[in-house]
Amino acid sequence: MAQLLQHLINGLAAGTIYALVALGYTMVYGVLKLINFAHGDVMMVGVYMGYATAFAIGREARGSFLGIAAVFAVAMLGCALMGFLIERFAYRPLREKPRLTALITAIGISFALSYGFQLDIGFLPGASPRAFPEIIEPTEWLIIGDRDVVVWNWQVISFLIAVGLMVGLQYLVFGTRFGRAMRAVSWDHRVAALMGIPTDRVIALTFMLSSGLAAGAGLLYAIKDTSVSPLMGLYVGLKAFVAAVIGGIGHVPGAVVGALVLGLVEEFVVGYAASTWRDAVAFGFLILVLLVKPGGLFGRVAAEKV
């Protein structure tokens, strides 16, 4: 029982982080119908920005609220800027081209980032994994029994940050003018432009938002697993993408539910069966969902001409 509870906590901790990354996929897909495969790698770059910031601040980064805030701010703003540049120079020129072109470009950017960051020149971090500085000093927040179940402060903090970011996003999309513009662009960006919505700006802002969110998620992930490497974006990105598809891509709460389900499924498979089964079960679950509900758990099926 205690073990089950511990697995539940671990699975939720992993799931909330997948959720934040999945939201980025879902937002960009919702607005542009583009699967931004570089999303996970943008997250990775954000993690390294946070890493560099934490080292630049030094000891004060650890434990102090201002230090942590600075690490998150630099990473999230830096990534937002990078998201803007990627959209401006890689995706916007291809917007009127067949959708496949942008998809291939996204994969290209993904590889350029994840392999470029393995080079060991100048500011690039090199291929070896590194230990992420403990910016939140790990302490046991809740202990049940003889350490049968342990909840850590960073698990709670991550969960709260993640939930906060999700609620904020939900409000942004459904409660603000910008959100309305986003939804309008997602409906049909040409018609939206005719109605006086600055589509380019809305799309650019969506990219910045999703990239900033990815950086935040990446930092939470790095705090959780303590190790960062240039290939982390590929792993996490793929998982988050699966989560977004399970939930119904383009659907905000769907992405969150999909991610939580995926996090829990993975944790239980590894805990009770074997880690070898983890990816097989995760992707098997994806296939099952797509067979039964092709639009994902929450999505609608839109007939599309191929």
Partner 1 sequence: MRRLAPMLLAALAVLAAACEKKTQPTPSGEAGTQAAQGQAPSPGGTPAGSDTILLGQVGALTGGQATFGISTRNGIELALKEANAAGGVNGKKLAIRVYDNQSKPEEAAQAATRLITQDKVVLILGDVASSNSLAMAEKAQAAGVPMITPSSTNTTVTEKGDYIFRVCFIDPFQGFVMAKFAREDLKLGKVAVLQDNKSAYSIDLSGVFTRKFTEMGGKIATTESYSQGDTDYRAQLTAIKKTQPDGIYVPGYYSEVGVIARQAREVGLKVPLMGGDGWDSEKLFELGGSAISGSYFSNHYSPDNPDPRVQKFIADYKAAYGGVPDALAALGYDAARVAIEALKRAKDLSGPSVRDAIAQTKDFPGVAGTVTLDDKRNAVKSAVVLKVGDGKTQYVTTINP
The least distance separating partner 1 from the CB of residue 53, rounded to whole angstroms, comes to 18
Among 229, 242, 249, 282, binds partner 1 (CB under 8 A): 229
**Given the complex with partner 1, which of 239 and 251 has the nearer CB atom?**
239
The least distance separating partner 1 from the CB of residue 44, rounded to whole angstroms, comes to 12
Evaluate the CA torsion angle 117, 120, 123, 127 in order and state its sign. positive
Question: With binding defined as CB under 8 A, does residue 87 bind partner 1?
Answer: no
Question: With binding defined as CB under 8 A, does residue 225 bind partner 1?
Answer: yes
Among 62, 88, 183, 293, binds partner 1 (CB under 8 A): 88
Number of residues binding to partner 1, judged by CB under 8 A: 47
Question: With binding defined as CB under 8 A, does residue 239 bind partner 1?
Answer: no
Residue 52's nearest CA partner among 70, 37, 29 is: 70
Q: Is 79 exposed, middle or buried (0-12, 13-18, 19+ CB in 10 A)?
A: buried
Question: With binding defined as CB under 8 A, does residue 220 bind partner 1?
Answer: no
Question: With binding defined as CB under 8 A, does residue 260 bind partner 1?
Answer: no
Question: With binding defined as CB under 8 A, does residue 226 bind partner 1?
Answer: yes
**Given the complex with partner 1, which of 131 and 191 has the nearer CB atom?**
131
Map the footprint of partner 1 across residues 106-125, applying CB under 8 A: 108, 111-112, 115-116, 118-119
**Given the complex with partner 1, which of 72 and 267 has the nearer CB atom?**
267
Residue with tokens 């990534």: 79
Please enumerate in sequence order all residues whose Cβ is within 8 A of that of 129, keeping only pairs 6 or more positions apart, or say none: 227, 228, 229
Among 141, 171, 272, 283, binds partner 1 (CB under 8 A): 272
The least distance separating partner 1 from the CB of residue 281, rounded to whole angstroms, comes to 13
The least distance separating partner 1 from the CB of residue 193, rounded to whole angstroms, comes to 17
**Given the complex with partner 1, which of 59 and 147 has the nearer CB atom?**
147
Question: With binding defined as CB under 8 A, does residue 139 bind partner 1?
Answer: no
Rounded-to-integer distance, Cα 140 and Cα 283, Å: 33
**CB-based contacts of 99-107 (< 8 A; 24+ apart in sequence):** 99/33, 99/34, 102/32, 102/34, 103/34, 103/35, 103/37, 106/34, 106/35, 106/36, 106/37, 106/38, 107/37, 107/38
**Given the complex with partner 1, which of 204 and 266 has the nearer CB atom?**
266
Q: What are phi and psi of 151, to 5 degrees?
A: -110, 130
Sites of contact with partner 1 (CB under 8 A): 3, 6-7, 10, 14, 88-90, 92-93, 105, 108, 111-112, 115-116, 118-119, 126-131, 138, 147, 150, 152, 224-227, 229, 231-232, 235, 266-268, 270-272, 274-276, 278-279
